[in-house]
Structure 1
Amino acid sequence: MTPDPAPLYAAHLAVMQQRAETALERGGFDHLVIPSGTVHYQLFDDRDYPYAVNPQFKAWAPLTRNPGSWLVVTPGRRPKLVYLQPFDYWHVVPDAPSGYWAEHFELVVIRKPEEASRHLPADAARCAILGEAQSALGQYGAFKPNNPQPVLDHLDYHRAFKTPYEIAMLRQATLRGVRGHRAAERAFRAGASEFGIHLAYCQAAGQDSAELPYSNIVALNAHGAVLHYTERDRVPPRPLRSFLIDAGASFGGYACDITRTHAADTDGEFQRMIDAVDAVQQRLSAAFAPGRDYRELHLQAHLELSGVLHEFGILTMSAESAVESGVSAKFFPHGLGHGIGLQVHDVAGFAESERGGTIARPEGHPYLRLTRTLAPGMVVTNEPGLYFAELLLDELRQGPHAGAVDWERVDAFRPYGGIRIEDDIVVTEREPLNLTREAFAD
């Protein structure tokens, strides 16, 4: 049974306040001030872009559709929420603050964005203000975000460690995402187009494109070789060979990130390759344990995926040689995964410590998004893949290792595009918790 986040919120808020106090001490500030963000408008137009809440703001409360609001955190005091509920007959006005979280704040409701300045600390110089420049308030933008690095370093580093409340929120997001994935597979097997599959996903997840945490990747056949394919053709290809979907969902500001690959012929060779990649993915998931260097897991993924390529007759060189020579990166060009939570690609993936610093990627692997050592409370993705991408295959064919590839076998798989399997994993003191597989099982 998926836990209710509400009873876990007070403990989460206590953790947030403790982190904020330490961060303020590190930066030499008295107050932490966080704007929710503002609406952005298109150039030379009056149309606005979809609003995206400041992640630092939604870390404190599940508010994602409240531009113009502010949060003030002062050590020793209840956090203050300056909540914009505008006088507006053109748009739907946010409801009055309510719910399990509201009682934990000093609430101030304002009707105009500029009214917020009266309820913020008097001296902006004593505030660590985290947000975008457009959030500035006051005459000449006197009260504007300064984003002090010592404060950000501390908060971002610790954001990798999720509270039980956050795990519960991620579980809820995952359930929505899995409903979408089930519906998308049904639509694929019924012969729908990429656009039709996308609509089926959104309907089942109960969210439209602007609410999803990222733009859905819905790829049929060779389109699966494009890592971030988002064109969504309106007419399905013939014949229908394969389907790769990378799609998530949101809940209270938290995101899930799930990828699955399906073969039209469930008894064919491409399905057997999907099964082989899935087996690699599950072996890797079991190794997401405290003390494991994520860079080593990434390199282990290259080694095991190279073994799959050798098993299917695509590579004639050994798996070890494929990794050492860089050949494996032509088939698996992205990183094994990333942190996830308030953002799909959560912050501080390279953070050396809470005081800053960077942990470098392994040489030859420029797209890895996480280099930290795993620890309990971290939530990270595991997404190995194999792709038959034209540009990368052309580079390989023209390089020194072209003779180690059976190009007829490559041509046989090229029309299927590629394979990616992605789960969201919670690192614990014991066995890792796979939020994605748990939700699919439910």
Structure 2
Amino acid sequence: MTASDAAILYPQHLAVLQRRAEAAIQRSGHDHLVVPSGNLHYQVFDDRDYPYAVNPHFKAWLPLVRNPGSWIVFTPGQKPRLVYLQPDDYWHVVPEAPSGYWVDHFDIQVIREAGQALAHLPADAARCAILGEPQSALGDYVPNNPDKALDYLHYHRAFKTPYEVEMIRRATARGVRAHRAAERAFRAGASEFGIHLAYCQAARQDANELPYHNIIALNEHNAILHYMQFDRLPPEDIRSFLIDAGASHDGYVCDITRTYATDRNGEFQALIDAVDAAQQKMCGQVRRGIDYKRIHLDGHLALAGILREFGVLEMSPEAAVETGVSAAFFPHGMGHGIGLQVHDVGGFLASDEGGRIDPPEGHPHLRLTRVLEPGMVVTIEPGLYFIDMLLDKVRQGEHADGVNWERVDAFRPYGGIRIEDEVVCTEGDALNLTREGFALPA
């Protein structure tokens, strides 16, 4: 996305945010919305700070992610105000003066010390809906996070503006570039740590700038869903590689997962190809009016069918799902909302007034249970794994004869498979941002 593209799309995005903010504070009975960017946190008994993470409600308004101590104030009928901390500091890099396509849309007040923000905040903190974490407190401006305001904002944040979709697309382009570099490193025989370094170099982001800790796993490590150990030396026999890694762009993120086999003509590669084909069909289900829970349950049937096709299951896909056997091979949810956060908020909300839509019984790890509508951006990430602690329960249970354990043993050294794309629900066919990114020239 070019600067001119952003300049065109941003005003409409900001107008949407202002409408939502006005409705949210009406619901909560306040006059102002106040959003701190957040402050640095320090390690106990030390003067070292943790990596700074900006308040997502702050970066929704403007592309600032490295500005602790700043504030946004929205009052209906007035221009949004940015209180921008630009401290006098010779120990650290001082933020540059505000610049870019967004600055003309704010009343910007530059301060040199954090406490000076009080002069630019509404006079009565009690009339403010203040969204943030406790460490953001300044005087009477302690975040109160009113539920009625948060429920409204979190519910509607699922519907991305065109500006936000473009931001996610740019994050995805960066992530795709890094994923390609990671695959090259894998094919060259690099260690998990070496692949991680190749990824960061290609993304041009260090570990603290990435949206989450990279999952980079070789062989049996693929069966650990959130494997983050990074062995420094490669195994003697490299068989498989799973990478779940994202990237960031101006506050928005991507989340991409791919799995590779060393032997491109072997049986594990054939299993990867089968999961990939099924995953693309699941992505195609992302359409207006489709219950995301349905995609999850249909995915279980499809994956159980693949396991039966490859001789791992000796029971029908329907029986595997009904008995819970499929969950031993696919123990996580199909995906989640994504945008300002990797696991975007509001996935369970029944409406903008709150309430909860629970996951289907027996599927507690599903993070999104809403009906899809245009503007939603979700991930689709089916997986098949050979996890001893889960399969041992099946082996010891009443459905053990429904599994071919010799076939399980044959696939166990490869760990498992996960494939994940980001998909936009539109008025028509699904828009797969991840496949779009991989289709571009390297």
* 1:7-406 superposed matches below 5 A: 7-138=8-139, 142-406=140-404
| Equivalent residue letter for 1:393 | L
How much has 1:5 moved relative to structure 2? 2.4
The aligned counterpart of 1:431 is 429
Give me the whole-angstrom Cα distance separating, in 2, the residues matched to 1:431 and 1:335: 23
Question: Secondary structure of 1:360's partner?
Answer: coil
| C-alpha displacement of 1:399 | 1.1
Q: Deviations over 1:156-187 (max 9, x none)?
A: 00000000000010010000000000000000
Deviation at 1:210, TM superposition (A): 0.1
CA shift, 1:370, in A, is 0.2
Alpha-carbon distance in structure 2 between the residues aligned to 1:152 and 1:239:
50
C-alpha distance in 2, partners of 1:151/1:317?
49
Q: Following the alignment from structure 2 to structure 1, what is the Cα–Cα distance between the partners of residues 8 and 88?
A: 33
Q: Could you tell me the TM-score, scaled by structure 1's length?
A: 0.99
Displacement of 1:267 after TM fit?
0.1
- For 1:75, the aligned partner's letter is P
1:7-37 Cα offsets, whole Å, 9 max, x none, are: 1000000000000001111111000000000
Deviation at 1:6, TM superposition (A): 2.6
CA shift, 1:343, in A, is 0.2
Distance, in Å, in 2 between the alignment partners of 1:103 and 1:282 is 42
Give structure 1 stretches of 5+ with no counterpart: none
Superimposed CA distance per residue, residues 261-288 of structure 1 (whole angstroms, 9 cap, x where no aligned partner): 0000000000000000001100111111
Aligned AA (2:394): L
Paired positions, count: 439
Mapped partners of 2:272, 2:5: distance in 1: 35
Cα distance in structure 2, aligned partners of 1:122 and 1:243: 56
Amino acid at match of 2:341: Q
Q: Is the deviation greater in 388-397 or in 97-106?
A: 388-397
Name the CA distance, whole Å, in 2 between partners of 1:430 and 1:348: 23
> Is the 8 Å Cα contact of residues 6 and 101 (structure 2) preserved in structure 1?
no
Find the residue that maps to 1:4 and give its secondary structure: helix
Partners of 2:150 and 2:347 lie apart in 1 by 13
Structure 1 position 413 matched with structure 2 position 408: no
Amino acid at match of 2:75: T
**How far is the alpha carbon of 1:390 from its aligned partner?**
1.3
1:314 and 1:398 map into 2 onto residues whose CA distance is 17
Cα distance in structure 2, aligned partners of 1:407 and 1:191: 30
Counterpart CA distance in 2 for 1:287 and 1:367 is: 20
Cα distance per residue 1:211-245 (max 9 Å; x no partner): 00000000000000000000000011121100000
Read off the aligned partner of 2:31 and give its amino acid letter. Answer: D
Inter-partner Cα distance in structure 2 for 1:115 and 1:390: 57
Distance across 2 between alignment mates of 1:26 and 1:213:
32
